A and B are shown apart, each in its own frame.
Chain A
C-alpha cells in the first residue's frame, strides 16, 4: 500500500447491517436488557446519530459494531462480513479521549498505524502528520497529553481514529465532556472532516440538538429494554450551525417523540 492510498478518500464502500440484535448484561442477580431485537442499516458515507436516555442501549450497540462486545443473538456485518472482533476498518472515539500519557501526540496517532502492516515508519509518520494537520494540531506533535485542553485531546483522538483510514467511525459521546464553545468548534470540524474524508459515521449522544446538527439521520432509542423507536431524516444543507433556527424545528420534533416514548423520570438533555 502506498502513501497516497493511505491519505486517499477513495476508501472502499462501507455498509453496516444490524439484524435482530439482542444483548443482555448480567451482574449478580440483576439482568439488564440492553438491546432487544434491534435492526438498523447504515449506508455508505452516511452520518447516523443514535440518541436516547441513559440505559437505552445506544452505546452497547456501538460497542457491538466496534467488535468490543459480542451480541447474544442477531447479526452485525460490515459489507456482508460478520463482525466479531475489532477491526481497523471501524475505529472508535470514546467520551474520554483515552490517549496514552506515556506517548506524545504524534506517538498516540502513530499507535494504530504501527499495527498496520505494509508501511514504513517514515510513511506512518507522514500519515500521522497529515491527520494532525487535518484536525488543526500540526504544531503539537511533540506535546504530551496532559499539556492539551479537553478539546485538543479529542482532536488528537479523532486524528488517531482517522489515521488507519477506517471506512467507519464510531463515536461514543465524544464531545460530552467538553464545554459548549469547544463543542461548537468540533461540530464544524467533524462535519468538514466527514465531508472531506467520506467516512461512514455512527455517533452516539444523549443530546438531541447535537444529533440533529450532525446526523443525516437521527435514530431514537428508548430504554428497558433498549429498542429503536423512531427515525428522523435531517435534510438540512451543510455545514450546519447548532444554533440555527431550521435545526430547532427538527429538535422539537425529536424531543417530543422522545418524551412520548420515554417515561418522564428518565433524564434526557435537550
Chain B
C-alpha cells in the first residue's frame, strides 16, 4: 500500500510539474499543451470510440504476431539446442537476424505484402521470433547436465525429458527471451504504424502520426501515454506473474 501511495504521489507531482511548465509560458502551447488538454483529448477520443478501436487494432496485431512468433520460436529454439546441424545453420541465422533492428523489416514487408495486415503480422513475427529462438537455445544450453542424468535414472528419456526437465529448467532464460521478443515486436509494430498507412485498420501509430500532421500535440502526447500504459499493463499482466513464479521457485527474488 505504501508503495502504491508513493507511486501515486510521484506521478501526481510529475503532472503538477508539467502543468506548471505549461503555465510558465516558456514553450508555445502548440509544443507543450496542458495535461488537462491532453486529458480532454483522451476523454473525447474514448467517448467517440476512436481510441478504443485503434487500441484494439494495434493490440490485435501485436498479439497475433507475438503468439505466432512464440509458437514458432520455442520449438525451433529447442531444436537448435538439440541438433548441431540446426545450431550451425538456423541458430546462426537467428543470431544474425536478432541483432538486426526489427524496424528494418518494415520496408521489406511493405514491398512483399503491401499496406495490409499481413505486412504488420510479418513485422511483429520477425521482431519476436529470433529473440525467442536465441533465448530458448541459450536457456537449454545452460541447463545443468546433472538434471537430465538424474531424470534418466528415474526412468525419463527422450521427449519426456525435454518436456518435463529441460524445458522447465530453461524457463528463466526463456521468459527473459519472451520479454525481449515482446519489446522488439512492440517497437517494430509502432514504427510500422507510424510510418505507413495500413489500409485495413487504423492503429494507435496512425493516431500518433495524424496528431503530428494536424499539429495536435495533445493527441501526440495522449497517444504516447496510451502506448506507455499498454507497455506497463503487458508487463504487469503477462510477465510479472511469470517472473514472480520463477523467483519464488528458484529463490532468486531479492
Contacts and interface: CB of A to CB of B under 8 A. Distances in A.
Given A144-B248, A146-B249, 5 more contacts: A94-B150, A101-B169, A102-B250, A112-B155, A144-B249
Contacts of A94: 146, 149-150
Interface in B205-254: 248-251
Contacts of B149: 68, 92, 94, 98
Contacts of A133: none
B45 interface: no
A146 B150 contact: no
Nearest to A170: B153
Contacts of A147: 251
Interface of B: 144, 146-147, 149-156, 160, 164-165, 168-169, 171, 248-251
B250 A66 contact: no
12 contacts: A68-B152, A88-B155, A94-B146, A98-B144, A98-B146, A100-B147, A101-B169, A101-B250, A102-B249, A111-B164, A145-B249, A164-B155
Contacts of B156: 111, 115
B249 A101 contact: yes
A147 B253 CA distance: 12
Interface string A192-214: 00000000000000000000000
A259 interface: no
Given A100-B147, A101-B251, A86 B153 contact: yes
A100 B251 contact: no
B153 A146 contact: no
A146 B154 contact: no
A100 B171 CA distance: 12
A96 interface: yes
Interface of A: 66-68, 86-88, 90-92, 94, 96, 98, 100-102, 111-112, 115-116, 144-147, 160, 164
Contacts of A102: 168-169, 171, 249-250
Contacts of B146: 94, 96, 98
A146 B155 contact: no
A206 to B, nearest CB: 19
Contacts of B164: 111
8 cross-chain pairs, A with B, having the tightest CB-CB distances, nearest first: A146-B251, A112-B154, A115-B155, A98-B150, A102-B168, A92-B153, A98-B146, A86-B153
A144 B251 CA distance: 8
B153 A91 contact: yes
A115 B154 contact: yes
Nearest to B245: A102
B222 to A, nearest CB: 43
Residue with the greatest number of chain A CB neighbours at <10 A, chosen from B146, B147, B150, B156? B150
A94 B147 CA distance: 10
A86 B249 CA distance: 28
Nearest to B253: A146
A112 B146 CA distance: 15
Given A144-B248, A147-B251, A100 B165 contact: yes
Contacts of A66: 153
A145 B150 CA distance: 15
Contacts of B160: 115
Contacts of B168: 100, 102
B169 A100 contact: yes
B251 A90 contact: no
A66 B147 CA distance: 15
B155 A116 contact: yes
Nearest to B250: A101
B124 to A, nearest CB: 30
Contacts of A67: 153
Given A98-B147, A100-B168, A146 B152 contact: no
Contact of A92 (B150, B165, B169, B171): B150
B147 to A, nearest CB: 6
A86 B248 contact: no
A113 B147 CA distance: 16
B251 A86 contact: no
Contacts of A88: 154-155
B226 to A, nearest CB: 36
A207 to B, nearest CB: 21
Contacts of A87: 155
A106 B144 CA distance: 21
A142 to B, nearest CB: 12
A80 B45 CA distance: 81
